[in-house]
């Protein structure tokens, strides 16, 4: 029994050492401006939340606006992905259709495309149809990343639902879409939940498409806004770290509540 607790103790030590950069991000954000260059001790001597107050009071850098934009883009990408990928994943899991293996293979190949390969043509296309500098454009670009992944993740959950349920529903006169909404979806909730969380997290961290498509800084998400804190000559590290903490907070909160699903989602989406 004692041996097990020693293992736990060493495990905790490994976790803390490995996550030191996260710890250092938080610590650097609550050190007074004078200590950030003077005091390099691992445990800070003085603590202040000045940097957090400062980042929200900047005139030219509007943190709240970046946050709002990140939320709009991430929620948009999540909802769009779920609407399109859920029925597709269901169809693929049931394999009644010709060409389904081809579609699955295609979905796998899409994961090999470098984002650059899409950034340029999408830029040109969106310029022509007026989607540059819009949330919709970036949401669509994000969905090209998350739909294939969401399909792969949800497929494994749909495969676990016995077909007998659908057969019974069909006998009772339920239509295919009726069965899908009333019987299948409630059973596949964890899968939909996982795919949704992934789409949200992917979109929150996405950078290249926002960088190329959003010239108007009113629309910038936090990932783009952060660049403004890296000064040309000197960087205000405590404010930049405070912004990093605030920007990763939604990720960490979502992660803590969904970690069980995230772990199974990673293995389902990449190895099955």
Partner 1 sequence: MVKQSEFKRIIEKSKDYTFLMPASLFLLLFLVYPIFFNLNLSFRDVNVGNLIQGERELVGLSNYVTVLKDPLFVKALANSIVFTVGTIIFSTCIGFMLALYFNKPFPGNKWMRSILLIAWMTPIIIIGTVFRWMLSGENGIINEILMNIGILSQPNYWLTDTNTALFSVIITNIWISIPFSMVIILSGLQALPGNIYEAAKIDGANRFQQFFYITLPLMKPTLLVLLMLGVIFTFKVFDLIYIMTAGGPADATQVIPFLAYQLSFGMYRFGEGAALSNISFIIIGLFALVYLYFIRREEVM
> Does 129 interact with partner 1 (rule: CB under 8 A)?
no
DSSP string computed for 170-199: HHTT--HHHHIIIIIHHHTHHHHHHHHHHH
- Specify the residue for token string 């390969």: 117
Cβ proximity to partner 1, 173 vs 177, nearer residue: 177
> Does 151 interact with partner 1 (rule: CB under 8 A)?
yes
Angle (CA) 177-142-220 rounded to 5° is 135
Binding marks (x or -) toward partner 1, 164..183, rule CB under 8 A?
-----------xxx--x---
In whole angstroms, give the CA distance from residue 205 to residue 251: 9
> Does 244 interact with partner 1 (rule: CB under 8 A)?
yes
- Decide if 211 contacts 120 (C-beta within 8 A): no
Binding marks (x or -) toward partner 1, 194..213, rule CB under 8 A?
-------x--xx-xx--xx-
Cβ proximity to partner 1, 38 vs 47, nearer residue: 38
Give min distance, CB of 59 to partner 1, in A: 22
In whole angstroms, give the CA distance from residue 82 to residue 134: 21
> Does 24 interact with partner 1 (rule: CB under 8 A)?
yes
In whole angstroms, give the CA distance from residue 122 to residue 209: 9
Among 30, 36, 78, 219, binds partner 1 (CB under 8 A): 36
Q: How many residues bind partner 1 (CB under 8 A)?
A: 92
DSSP string computed for 74-135: HHHHHHHHHHHHHHHHHHHHHT-STTHHHHHHHHHHHTTS-HHHHHHHHHHHHHHTT-TTSH
> Does 247 interact with partner 1 (rule: CB under 8 A)?
yes
Residues within window 61-80 making contact with partner 1, judged by CB under 8 A: none
In whole angstroms, give the CA distance from residue 55 to residue 62: 8
Among 73, 138, 141, 152, binds partner 1 (CB under 8 A): 141
Cβ proximity to partner 1, 189 vs 272, nearer residue: 272
> Among 53-61, 159-167, 188-196, 223-231, which window interacts with partner 1 (CB under 8 A)?
223-231
Instruction: Show Cβ contacts of residue 228 under 8 Å, excluding neighbours closer than 6 positions.
Output: 60, 61
Side-chain half-sphere of 86: how many Cα atoms within 13 Å? 23
> Does 12 interact with partner 1 (rule: CB under 8 A)?
yes
> Does 192 interact with partner 1 (rule: CB under 8 A)?
no
Give min distance, CB of 256 to partner 1, in A: 8
């Amino acid at each position: 029994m004692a041996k097990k607790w020693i293992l736990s103790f060493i495990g905790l030590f490994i976790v803390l050492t490995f996550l030191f950069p996260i710890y250092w991000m938080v610590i650097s954000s609550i050190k007074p401006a004078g200590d950030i260059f003077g005091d390099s001790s691992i445990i800070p001597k003085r603590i202040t939340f000045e940097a957090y107050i400062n980042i929200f009071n900047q005139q030219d850098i509007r943190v709240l606006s970046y946050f709002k934009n990140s939320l709009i883009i991430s929620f948009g990408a999540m909802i769009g992905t779920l609407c399109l990928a859920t029925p597709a994943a269901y169809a693929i899991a049931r394999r009644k259709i010709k060409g389904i293996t081809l579609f699955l293979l295609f979905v796998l190949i899409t994961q090999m495309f470098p984002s650059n390969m899409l950034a340029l043509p999408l830029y040109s296309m969106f310029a022509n149809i007026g989607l540059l500098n819009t949330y919709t454009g970036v949401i669509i670009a994000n969905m090209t990343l998350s739909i294939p992944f969401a399909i792969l993740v949800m497929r494994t959950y749909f495969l676990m639902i016995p077909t007998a349920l659908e057969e019974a529903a069909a006998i009772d006169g339920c239509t295919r879409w009726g069965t899908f909404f009333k019987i299948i979806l409630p059973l596949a909730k964890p899968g939909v939940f996982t795919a949704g969380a992934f789409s949200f997290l992917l979109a929150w961290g996405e950078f290249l498409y926002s960088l190329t498509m959003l010239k108007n800084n009113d629309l910038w998400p936090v990932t783009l806004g952060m660049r403004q804190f890296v000064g040309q000559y000197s960087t205000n590290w405590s404010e930049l770290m405070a912004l990093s903490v605030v920007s990763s907070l939604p990720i960490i909160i979502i992660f803590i509540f969904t970690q069980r699903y995230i772990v199974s989602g990673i293995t389902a989406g990449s190895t099955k």
